[in-house]
Amino acid sequence: MDIFNIILQGLITGVILTLSFGAGFFALVQTSIMRGYKKGLFIALGAIISDTLFIGLAMFATSFISEELPKYAQLIKIIALAAFLLLGIRSILKSSKLIKSADSEGRPNYFYISKGFILNIVNPLVLITWLGITLFLESTLNYKPIELALFFAMVLIGTFASQSAICIFSHKIKSLLSDKFIHRMNISIGFLFIAIGLMLFFNNSDPQMGMVKAQQLLK
């Protein structure tokens, strides 16, 4: 496989995954508007760390994870539901006049890194996506280990670059948004997190189908 094509395909895949409008995307927008783009970048960093962990697992333990993942599906769903319910309820309450926005302004950077990490790590669809992409690259495109490493490095670069752009853009438009809009945005994103948690919990689709959908990104 031509190196330039691997680099280009990896970068494009990273951008596509960022613009899939999952929970991480809305967390980036919300945090960048409320706390500034630097805090949003720390959420992006947390997501990149969890993606790197998942990619490592997908590359070196594909068969094992594919076999073991269904055994723990219910536990993973419960953890995902609890995490997204917590994030959703917190976002809704945070927009309330009963909780002042200044309460969380002093949060350390590792809080935002942890938030980005958790949003990714509790979502089983993220791991399934990386497994599906890895299987496709190895079995269909016959990628060698070094080509896989290059591809995923480019995916992570493309992901972080596009996430950074989202953070900066969201922060730039803050001055154009009214307090009422930001209040409603927090409530909407809170309900969105709750909906994602419920969707993951009640989703009974076969993980293999998720892998197939992930593979279609590269076709």
> How far from the centroid of its chain's Cα atoms is residue 102's Cα?
26
pLDDT tens track for 41-51:
999 999 999 99
In which residue are the tokens 């590359």 written?
A: 59
In which residue are the tokens 């809704």 written?
A: 92
How distant, in Å, are the alpha carbons of 21, 78, 106, 138, 218 from that of 212? 19, 24, 43, 14, 11
Q: Return the pLDDT at 100.
A: 46
Structure tokens at 191: 């309900």
Non-local CB neighbours of 183 within 8 Å, separated by 6+ positions? 95
Domains identified in the chain, total number: 1
Q: Return the pLDDT at 122.
A: 85
Q: Which of the residue ranges 2-6, 127-131, 136-140, 147-151 has the most confident prediction, judged by mean pLDDT?
A: 147-151
pLDDT tens track for 59-74:
887 666 666 666 777 7
User: Domain of 72?
Assistant: 3-216
Nearest CA-CA partner of 40 in 56, 14, 18: 18
The answer to whether the CB of 171 falls within 8 A of the CB of 30 is no
The pTM for the full model equals: 0.78
Collapsing DSSP to helix, strand or coil, 218 comes out as coil
One-letter amino acid at 208 equals Q
